[in-house]
Amino acid sequence: MRQCTEDSRRQFLCRAGSALILSLTPLASWAGNRPAIVAVRIWPSSDYTRVTLEHDAPLKFNHFTVENPDRLVVDIEGVEFNSVLESITGKIADNDPYIKLLRAGRYKPGVVRLVMELKTRIVPQVFALAPVGEYGHRLVLDVYPETPVDPLLALLEGRPEGVEPLKIDPELSDKKPETPAHAPARPAKPMVDRMITIMLDPGHGGEDPGAVGKRGTYEKNVTLAIAKRLKARIDAEPNMRAVLTRDGDFFVPLQTRVQKARRIQADLFLSIHADAWIKPDARGSSVFVLSEKGASSTQARLLAQKENDADLIGGVNLAKTKDIFLARTLIDLSQTATINDSLKLGKYLLGEIGSINHLHKTSVEQAGFAVLKAPDIPSALIETAFISNPEEELRLKDDAYQAQMAEALLRGIRQFFIKHPPGPKARLAQLG
């Protein structure tokens, strides 16, 4: 009887132990499968600062702001504090316009709290992005100033004391001056009594590197370098000023690029890129403008699709996006007139670019590029060379080639305005 009792006790303990092990196993498995923060990236700029936390599985989060002092607090559920989060404090630059300090720590079991100490009052956007390209899941913290940066200030900061009128030779212009009926039949020189404003758009930026060459060259860096060189040359002209959609390594949504151009009532919009193709022997420069209908070639269509995917890569808070220009049907005859002007602009640009580099296509191509959809601004997208071609990648990194490209684009811009002087519409751009 005693033996039986001992055996029964052993069996009970054995069963109890097995049950305990089984009950703990799901807990251990759950803990091991928690999302992990694998990378933290911070992109400061004058427009806004972006903090991106990349993680390997979906997670839950909530956020709120606190005043006196101003702080943004984000609680992330179901993650453990790790070395990546521990290093977050050292990633904030002293000159960040909006963030004073960012720290992370265990708030309670299974919850990590991020506290962002701020330099000014902000309007935060906190949102999740699904995996795309080389990125996994991302939690994005966009910190915008309560008073948004006005792109007009970039023009005002570079305003000269006096603005010389743009003189157009009537023999070169295809816009003949109007003459009153009672006046002698004598052509007068058309004059433009305001500053010409050009929006330069360096493609990609921040979370979106664009195409990457075999030697590791990022398209976003090449486009910014060329755009800055072109801006310096435009600003040296007595009657022109340029504004950049981005002046550093940060992401700008496509719609925002268009809005910035319309905010300053730009006379031209030039988006600068460095193409990539599946074949490394593809080479040459190209110029593209918007199409109301289909693309002019399969390559133009594929390129437009790739460029339009920039918002997916860079990351846009879709809940906050009010797509004024890009998601609606192209508007009335003004869009057709703008596209016609864009085609003329593209021809001048293509002719000048052809003097410094092989042309991939000798005619201006068309496709549905979202960034070119300002209905009232002649716009063109320039593919400066193929970054996927090892030889052209070296040229794109070369200071001399970047300078040649900037000079060629400036010559094309000059020719466009000589033949097609701008009208009096952009009064906000008249700074004199």
Helix (H, G, I), strand (E, B) or coil at 77: strand
Residue 149: its pLDDT value, please? 81
Residue-level pLDDT at 187: 54
Query: Tell me, what's the pLDDT at 398?
Result: 96
Domain holding 137, by residue range, is: 37-145
What CATH number did the domain enclosing 107 receive?
2.60.40.3500
Peptide bond into 69 cis (omega under 30): yes
Count the domains in the chain.
Answer: 2
Does residue 405 sit in the same domain as residue 334? yes
Whether residues 156 and 141 fall in one domain: no
Residue 135 shares a structural domain with residue 160: no
Task: Supply 228's token pair.
Answer: 């800055």
222 and 364 together in one domain? yes
**pTM (2 d.p.):** 0.81
Give kind and range of the element (H or E) at residue 76: strand 71-77
Cβ atoms within 10 A of the Cβ of 350, count? 22
Residue 19 located in a structural domain: no
**Please, which residues bridge with residue 42 across strands?**
51
Answer yes or no: is 5 within a domain: no
10-residue mean pLDDT series, the chain (432 residues)? 47 40 37 82 96 95 95 94 93 95 93 96 96 94 91 64 42 40 42 78 96 96 98 95 96 94 94 92 94 85 89 85 48 73 96 96 92 92 96 97 98 95 59 36
**Domain co-membership, 113 together with 168:** no
* CATH number where 255 lies: 3.40.630.40
Give the Cα separation of 173 and 132 in Å (integer).
49
Do 256 and 302 fall within a single domain? yes
Q: Say which residue the tokens 């936390």 belong to.
A: 53
Does residue 99 sit in the same domain as residue 238?
Answer: no
Does residue 24 lie within any of the structural domains?
no
Counting Cα atoms < 13 Å in the Cβ hemisphere of 41 gives: 17
